[in-house]
């Protein structure tokens, strides 16, 4: 399967403003790209890149005053298979976990597993550890929270979502992560794109997506407490402890979001179909 994906974001800044972007495909999927997903900007500006402590590809740039547009696009080859959830995956004893997984066992800014520990053990203490436990957590969070764009805010934490009972995909994910960590399961926050491939209409407006990865049976497994069903064509951008580690854009100063759009759709074998919808930006300098 070939999937055309990307994003285009426009912001306004009143003065030159430094920015960090995480809008590129995660290194684990780069080998599946048909062409590099370079960050493109208008006006063109110099871009410096680096990898953060989680291995994510980050772009640094100085946004000039005024309206500024940026975006990425590419075509990725995918198996076309829906997500699979291994409910038999074993949960490791804490002293047997690899060192790199331990940071994903701890409370973080948006995932207060310490505050939610008693509730987690009350709800899930009798569930068989491992994949079945993670699925029970996803089922609970999916049923507990109501999806609501109107009440979304970038500062809402897992504990607040649990109290308020609504949120967007990052809130579903933060709460499920907090419960998983409280139950001694290493859990990562993931950000990227998911299309509507294979799903039944009506389709929601395309947006960036959040889900989680849990460490079970010697590897990381994707789980999605927001959709809570197998999805096809999941494209990972970045992983961290929570959303604070992986902002798609982070400006060091005030900015106003003018517009944004994302796309993630299956295409055929005709190379002409690989042109990203609406991408008319000038090329940046790397």
DSSP string, 38-95: --EEES--B-EEEE-TT--EEEEEEEPSEEEEEEEEEEEE---PPP---TTPPPPPGG
Give residue 282's pLDDT. Answer: 46
Q: Please, are residues 112 and 163 in contact by the beta-carbon 8 Å criterion?
A: no
C-alpha Rg value of the chain to the nearest Å = 19
Task: Classify residue 219 by burial, with Cβ atoms within 10 Å: 0-12, 13-18, 19+.
Answer: exposed
Instruction: Give the whole-angstrom CA distance, residue 267 versus residue 6.
Output: 13
Instruction: Give the whole-angstrom CA distance, residue 123 versus residue 145.
Output: 15
Instruction: Give the whole-angstrom CA distance, residue 92 versus residue 111.
Output: 21
Give residue 204's pLDDT. Answer: 74
Q: Taking each helix axis from N to C terminus, what angle separates 169-182 and 117-124, rounded to the nearest 10 degrees? A: 80
pTM of the predicted structure, to 2 decimals: 0.93
Give residue 199's pLDDT. Answer: 85
- Token output for 22: 């995480």
Taking residues 252-274, report their average pLDDT: 84
pLDDT at residue 286 tops 80: no
Domain with CATH 3.10.620.30 in the chain: 94-232
Task: Classify residue 246 by burial, with Cβ atoms within 10 Å: 0-12, 13-18, 19+.
Answer: buried
Which residue is associated with the tokens 């436990």?
Answer: 133
Poorest-pLDDT segment among 10-19, 229-238, 263-272: 263-272
As a whole number, the mean pLDDT across the chain is 93
- Token output for 85: 């959830």
* Topology of domain 2-79+247-274, CATH: Immunoglobulin-like (2.60.40)
- Token output for 227: 């959709």
Give residue 212's pLDDT. Answer: 98
284 pLDDT band (50/70/90 cuts)?
very low
Instruction: Give the whole-angstrom CA distance, residue 33 versus residue 134.
Output: 31
Instruction: Give the whole-angstrom CA distance, residue 250 versus residue 221.
Output: 28
* Topology of domain 94-232, CATH: C8orf32 fold (3.10.620)
Task: Classify residue 131 by burial, with Cβ atoms within 10 Å: 0-12, 13-18, 19+.
Answer: buried
pLDDT tens column, 193-211: 998 888 887 777 778 999 9
DSSP string computed for 168-198: -HHHHHHHHHHHHHHTT--EEEEEEE---TT
| Residue 273, SS3 per DSSP | helix
Question: What H or E segment, with its residue span, contains residue 190?
Answer: strand 187-193
Give the residue among 107, 99, 129, 141 at the shortest CA–CA distance from 216: 129
Share of the chain above pLDDT 70, in %: 94
Give residue 280's pLDDT. Answer: 55
Domain with CATH 2.60.40.2250 in the chain: 2-79+247-274
Q: Which residues pair with 249 in a beta bridge?
A: 21
Residue 106 backbone phi and psi in degrees, to 5: -100, 155
Give residue 198's pLDDT. Answer: 86
């Amino acid at each position: 399967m070939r999937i055309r994906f990307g994003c285009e974001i426009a912001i306004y800044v009143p003065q030159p403003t430094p920015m960090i972007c995480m809008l590129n495909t995660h290194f684990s999927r780069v080998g599946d790209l048909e062409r590099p997903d370079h960050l493109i900007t208008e006006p063109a500006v110099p871009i410096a890149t680096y990898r953060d402590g989680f291995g994510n590809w980050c772009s640094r740039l100085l946004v000039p005053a005024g309206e500024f547009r940026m975006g990425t696009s590419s075509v990725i080859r995918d198996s076309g298979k829906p997500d699979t959830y291994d409910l038999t995956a074993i949960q490791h004893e804490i002293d047997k976990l690899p060192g790199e997984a331990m940071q994903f066992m701890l409370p973080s800014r948006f995932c207060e597993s310490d505050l939610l520990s008693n509730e987690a053990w009350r709800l899930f203490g009798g569930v068989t550890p491992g994949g079945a436990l993670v699925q029970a957590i996803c089922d609970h969070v999916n049923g507990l929270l109501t999806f609501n764009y109107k009440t979304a805010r970038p500062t809402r934490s897992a504990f607040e979502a649990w109290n308020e009972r609504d949120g967007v995909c990052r809130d579903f994910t933060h709460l499920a992560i907090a419960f998983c960590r409280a139950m001694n399961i290493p859990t990562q926050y993931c950000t990227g794109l998911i299309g509507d491939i294979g799903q039944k209409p009506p389709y929601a407006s395309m947006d960036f997506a959040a889900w989680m990865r849990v460490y079970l049976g010697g590897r990381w497994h994707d789980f999605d407490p927001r959709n809570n069903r197998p999805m096809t064509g999941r494209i990972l951008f970045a992983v961290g402890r929570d959303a604070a580690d992986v902002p798609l854009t982070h400006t060091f100063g005030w900015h106003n979001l003018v517009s944004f759009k994302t796309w993630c759709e299956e295409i055929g074998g005709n190379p002409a179909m690989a042109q990203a919808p609406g991408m008319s930006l000038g090329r940046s300098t790397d």
